[in-house]
Structure 1
Amino acid sequence: MSETHDKAHAGRMPALFLAHGSPFLLDDRAWVAELRAWAQAMPRPKAILMLSAHWVDAPATVGATETVPLVYDFYNFPEKYYRVTYPAPGAPALARRVRELLGRVGPVAEDPRRGLDHGAYVPLVCMYPDADIPVLQISLPTLSPAPLLEVGRALAPLRDEGVLLIGSGFLTHNLRAADWRGDAVAQPWATEFDAWCAEVLGRRDVDALLDYRRRAPGVKMALPTHEHFVPVVAALGASIDVSEAAAFPITGLTYGSFTKRSVQFG
């Protein structure tokens, strides 16, 4: 991609991968402030498209296009977390565009009653607390990296239409290895996996990322399951056809085994 072409698309929205945390994130003032500052540093989006680790459903499924109740997809938490609201406007026009774009790579379904899950609304409460930007969530149709790269690639035109594409998950996600103390020491496998991710994403090494299950150090401990990692592949897919750097607006490890590393393409 030429420099001239990049300048012609100066209004392009970034594509993001963010670590969303549990509902407890909303009580972490430092993390909330980091997410808020990140949002303020970006252009204001016309709409937001979320792909969260907490909705894996084939084929790709479009969620509610009007404001519906949130999905409180967690259990035995204090009552206050079930009272959090995020009444963002629906995004029916974006839903039509998503169906058009994704329809070129595979079937698209609809679930009009499916509200935002905590992988979507928790970070948005931090980033855009006024809930005044239309939000649409779609499912991850697979956990296989290569098809998800193509999903992101298919959605990439939305970036030039003012839409902020967000993949939400955790680059490491091992609940059994979590240490919930605030001063927990990071596990070596978590720091090694995080460093590998930083290197691979920093150089936009698509081949390595698609082969992460074989190449990444500590992957079996970092990811007993893979739904939290693969949204980053979709985010990279939305950036794959343009020449732009990867940045890490938020880094660090929390709870001993979770990396907060978040990625901005563009």
Structure 2
Amino acid sequence: MPALYLSHGAPPLADDALWPGQLAAWSADLPRPKAILMVSAHWEEAPLALGATETVPLVYDFWGFPEYYQVAYTAPGAPELAESVRRLLTAPGVTVQEAPERGLDHGAYVPLVEMYPAADIPVLQISMPTLDPRKLMDIGRRLAPLRDEGVLIVGSGFFTHNLAALRRGGIPSWSAEFDDWGHRALDAGDIDALLDFRHKSPAGALAHPRTEHFAPLFVTMGTADTFGELDTHRSVIDGFWMGLAKRSVQFG
């Protein structure tokens, strides 16, 4: 299976005129996954935690959009995938914990509603135990064998993310500059620059004042590194949504 990093939007994405169709077209162009492993910007927990392995209620981890509290996504749980993840990640001194009541958050289900609306593919979400890019790449490398088993690994974040700095109308210069830099760094395979994006990119601190929305990219990049794909990515979705870069990329 390919590995993806996608910008997941927010609950109102469902009402956008363009983006849901882009996500649907992307999934239609992919092989059908046996299961989906989601790494979302909205779940940080250490040690790394495995989410629910059976269908439980979603996590409505947002406010200001009460009309979207009725959204449901009843995908099957993925206990076999959870066991494979546990096997791949457990090592001396490394603990993998269980979070059996933790449902999918909006970083997981918002894009999945558009990509796989039938909700008939097993989904497992795992937490990010760190925001360190190098450590996240290592987690991705260790998870990479799942791709040979038909698992779609998805890092879900946002290519730029600073809600406090947005202004009504238009695309902020910091968002456009970071998106352009990130696109060129990916195209050039400049992994060192990406790993140190807070210092080596223009407007990095503004584009990501906190780095959790860029961090899932490094899990995806780790799986790509295992298969020698870091220089073969393609941007499937680009452009901006409410001033934020929605760049989403595929490896493999």
Give 1:163 shift. 0.2
8 A contact 1:179–1:255 mirrored in 2: no
8 A contact 2:52–2:124 mirrored in 1: yes
Give 1:191 shift. 1.0
Per the normalisation by structure 1, the TM-score is 0.91
Kindly report structure 1 stretches of 4+ aligned residues shifted beyond 6 Å: none
Which residue type is aligned with residue 85 of structure 1? A
Pick aligned residue for 2:99 from 87, 94, 111: 111
Q: Deviations over 1:71-123 (max 9, x none)?
A: 00011313x20000000000000000000011138321110000000000000
Structure 1 equivalent of residue 22 of structure 2: 34
- Note if 1:216 corresponds to 2:209: no
Matched ranges for 1:168-179 at <5 A: 168-179=156-167
Pick aligned residue for 1:200 from 165, 175, 185: 185
Q: Deviations over 1:221-240 (max 9, x none)?
A: 10111110110011000100
Structure 2 equivalent of residue 246 of structure 1: 233
Distance in 1 (alpha carbons) for counterparts of 2:188 and 2:147: 21
Structure 2 equivalent of residue 92 of structure 1: 79
8 A contact 2:166–2:172 mirrored in 1: no
Aligned residues: 249
Matched ranges for 1:124-203 at <5 A: 124-179=112-167, 184-203=169-188
Distance in 2 (alpha carbons) for counterparts of 1:28 and 1:185: 16
Q: Deviations over 1:176-208 (max 9, x none)?
A: 12245xxx3211221110011111122332211
Structure 2 equivalent of residue 8 of structure 1: none
Q: Deviations over 1:9-50 (max 9, x none)?
A: xxxx01100000110101113100000000000100000000
Structure 1 unaligned residues grouped into runs of 5+: 1-12
Structure 2 equivalent of residue 259 of structure 1: 245
Which residue type is aligned with residue 90 of structure 2? G
SS of the residue corresponding to residue 120 of structure 2 reads coil
Distance in 2 (alpha carbons) for counterparts of 1:230 and 1:112: 24
SS of the residue corresponding to residue 225 of structure 2 reads coil
Task: Please give the root-mean-square deviation of Cα atoms over the aligned residues, in Å.
Answer: 1.1
SS of the residue corresponding to residue 140 of structure 2 reads helix
Pick aligned residue for 2:109 from 105, 121, 132: 121
Structure 2 unaligned residues grouped into runs of 5+: none
8 A contact 2:10–2:106 mirrored in 1: yes
Pick aligned residue for 1:235 from 191, 198, 220: 220
Give 1:67 shift. 0.2
Pick aligned residue for 1:101 from 88, 111, 121: 88
Which residue type is aligned with residue 69 of structure 1? P
Distance in 2 (alpha carbons) for counterparts of 1:107 and 1:261: 33
